[in-house]
Amino acid sequence: MSTDYTIKDSSVKAISSYSSNQLNSLLKPIILPRARSGIHHVFKSIEIGVTVTTRLAYHQQLNDALYELCAQTVPLQNTNIKESNEELLSLFSALELCFANGDDYTPIGQQIITRIVSHYPAITPQVHRDLFWFYGGDCLHFLSDDEIQKYQTLEERYYDLSKTDSDACYRNLRAQIFNMH
């Protein structure tokens, strides 16, 4: 399964699509290993947008962004003990393993979200609302009834659309339902 990436070059204003192999060879000198798991991520200064079509890939991308935010801000939190900060970051590693192995990721995802809400109020407003829906359970208590209704509609439409179109784009459908287009 090949992932397509889109690179936006601000100096040229051109958008080109590359396969993951082409992207890896182009960006090899600027890709850094993520210390916690050896997975590679690209410098944030490079504007890279991943073409996301599946529901899972979309939420994994949001989860990666949340990890990056937590990795930068959690160690600076003086209100929590160091072990609590390390435990939160280690939960992200466990979650990543669940995604990679196809294991059930919802309990760990719920743990991450509820821990952020209860222990890191400065980070909470920056958690993407979609992650509250995606992990469900106790995370749903933090969504309004209107949001829950929109997410239910989104899931139903995505499910119906994915039956007939295997390339159904979750992100685009979400934007339509949340009136972003």
Strand partners of residue 17: 6
Q: What SS3 state is found at 1?
A: coil
| Number of domains observed in the structure of the chain | 2
pLDDT of residue 36: 34
Confidence band (pLDDT; 50, 70, 90) for 35? very low
Cα–Cα distance for residue pair 66/126, rounded to 1 Å: 8
**One domain, residues 66 and 119:** yes
**One domain, residues 97 and 150:** yes
pLDDT of residue 84: 87
Identify the residue whose tokens are 């900060």.
85
pLDDT of residue 4: 37
pTM: 0.69
Chain centre to alpha carbon of residue 98: 14
**One domain, residues 23 and 104:** no
**One domain, residues 60 and 147:** yes
Residue 85, Cβ density class (10 Å: 0-12 exposed, 13-18 middle, ≥19 buried): buried
Q: Is the pLDDT of residue 179 over 60?
A: yes
Confidence band (pLDDT; 50, 70, 90) for 181? low
**One domain, residues 35 and 21:** yes
Q: What SS3 state is found at 19?
A: strand
**One domain, residues 140 and 154:** yes
Write out the DSSP string of 52-93: --SHHHHHHHHHHHHHHHHHHHGGG-SSS-HHHHHHHHHHHH
**One domain, residues 84 and 163:** yes
**One domain, residues 25 and 102:** no
Confidence band (pLDDT; 50, 70, 90) for 149? very high
**One domain, residues 36 and 113:** no
AA letter at 105:
Y
pLDDT digits (tens, 9 = 90+) for 123-134: 999 999 999 999
pLDDT digits (tens, 9 = 90+) for 110-124: 999 999 999 999 999
Identify the residue whose tokens are 């979200």.
113
Strand partners of residue 110: none
**One domain, residues 15 and 96:** no
**One domain, residues 33 and 116:** no
Q: Is the pLDDT of residue 175 over 60?
A: yes
> Is-contact 62 131, C-beta < 8 A?
yes
**One domain, residues 35 and 89:** no
Which structural domain, as residue segments, surrounds residue 21?
4-50
Q: Is the pLDDT of residue 18 over 60?
A: no
pLDDT digits (tens, 9 = 90+) for 51-110: 456 899 999 999 999 999 999 999 887 777 888 889 999 999 999 999 999 999 999 999
